[in-house]
Amino acid sequence: MPMPPPKPATEGRRDRQVFHEMGQIVRALEALGPSQIEDLFRAVGAAYWEQDRFEPALALAVADGLVYTRDDGALVAS
C-alpha cells in the first residue's frame, strides 16, 4: 500500500512574507519615531510591495502589539 501524500504546509510563502513586512514596519517606526501612515508607507517602500500587502501587514503588527496608534493618529513601535 503506498504512503499517503504529505500534509500541505500550514505556513505558505505569503505567511512568511508578512512576518518580513511586519518587521520592516517595526524597524522603520523604531528609526523614524512616531509616523503618520502615509510617511510609514513611503519609508518602507510599500509602493514596491505586492499589491494590497501593506495594510494587512500593518494590521497584523497592531494586532500582535508590535505597533500602536497614538491619540493623534501617529503610529509608534511598541
| pLDDT higher than threshold 90 for residue 71 | yes
- Our measurement of the distance from residue 38's CA atom to the centroid of its chain's CA atoms, rounded to an integer in Å, reads 15
Cβ atoms 42, 36 nearer than 8 A: no
pTM over 0.85: no
Query: Does 30 or 11 have the greater pLDDT score?
Result: 30
Q: Residues 50-73: what's their mean pLDDT?
A: 94
- What is the spatial distance between Cα 75 and Cα 54, in angstroms, rounded to a whole number? 14
- What is the spatial distance between Cα 62 and Cα 41, in angstroms, rounded to a whole number? 15
Q: Residues 63-73: what's their mean pLDDT?
A: 95
What are the distances in angstroms from CA 1 to CA 4, 6, 7, 18, 52?
Answer: 9, 15, 18, 40, 45
Q: Mean pLDDT for the chain? A: 88
